[in-house]
Amino acid sequence: MSARISIVLVSFLAACGGDDGGGAADAAIDTPASTIMLVDPCPGTVDATITTLATRFDPATATITQGQVVKFVSTATHPIGAQPGTETTLAVPEGQTKCFRFTAARAYSYKCNVHGYVGTLTVN
């Protein structure tokens, strides 16, 4: 009797434990590489600086070349977050400064998380 139970148990586990192609290696293939990379610490020279103000970003739009670094300065009441369609890597809490390298040519949209005003960074 115990031999039959062992055979059934082994058969059940074998059926559940096979590789269905959904492992971690497959997930890495399906996940696009990040196009926004945190640069820490910020370098002495950056290619653009974007600062939050009371009702807008300064500047509201900026253009850089692929691979360049942008410094984002968030004031005490204006945290920066990514707009839908932009990687969530682009986030700067209140009162912090962060630098990011942009490695893909496209438009990146970000917002003040409290007040909702938006800005756009175009990477050529």
> Which DSSP string do the residues of the chain spell out, in sequence order?
-HHHHHHHHHHHHHHHSS--S-SHHHHHHHSPPPSEEEESSPPSS-SEEEEE-SSSEESSEEEE-TT-EEEEE--TT--EEEPTTS-TT--B-TT-EEEEEE-S-EEEEEEETTT--EEEEEE-
- State how far the Cα of 39 lies from the Cα of 11, in Å rounded to an integer: 51
- Least confident span in 13-17, 44-48, 88-92: 13-17
Residue showing tokens 């209140």: 94
Which pLDDT does position 40 carry in this prediction?
Answer: 95
What is the chain's mean pLDDT, rounded?
83
Of 98 and 3, the structure prediction assigns the larger pLDDT to 98
pTM for the model stands at: 0.73
pLDDT at 30: 54
Q: What local confidence, expressed as pLDDT, does residue 28 receive? A: 47
User: 17-59 pLDDT, tens per residue?
Assistant: 444 555 444 444 554 578 999 999 999 999 999 999 999 999 9
Residue 1: pLDDT band by 50, 70, 90 thresholds?
Answer: low
Domains of the chain with bracketed CATH: 32-123 (2.60.40.420)
With the C-alpha atoms ordered 84, 111, 88, 49, is the resulting torsion angle positive or negative?
positive
